[in-house]
Amino acid sequence: MSFDFADFNRQVIEEFRANGGRVAGNFGGVEEGATLLLLHTTGARTGKPRLHPLAYLPHGDAFVVFASKAGAPTNPDWYHNLRASPRTRIEVGSEVLQVVARVAEGEERERLWTAQKERMPYFAKYERRTTRRIPVVVLERA
């Protein structure tokens, strides 16, 4: 029996919106009360709207997300969508914010990635599962 990610994400999104951005229980290893956001993207190939629940790291006035895909060998679709259309919006708590995405590089990437692994240790497991360098994406308010 395979896991239905679309159904799981739908449930997380419903709970997120019903509870002002809070999701109880276990979200892909994220502890209850962890910081989650909903990332809106436009499909790079399809042009269709997409919605992705993601754990994030607060970083000043920005939000940092990680294209870990649980350590899969390829980047998640949302990462490719953001590369094609970096201007988008996110839902954080009960707010909807306009943001611009950029990929962190060099020392900034290492610092943010290390902070996320310390904050949510399962991200280190994702890193060990893959040979690719997991992209770190900074979502800055537009």
Evaluate if residue 16 carries a pLDDT over 70: yes
Share of the chain above pLDDT 90, in %: 73
* Torsion sign over Cα 112, 100, 93, 77: negative
- Statement: residue 33 has pLDDT above 70: no
Domains of the chain and CATH, by start: 5-141 (2.30.110.10)
Tens of pLDDT, residue by residue over 67-112, are 999 999 999 999 999 999 999 999 999 999 999 999 999 999 999 9
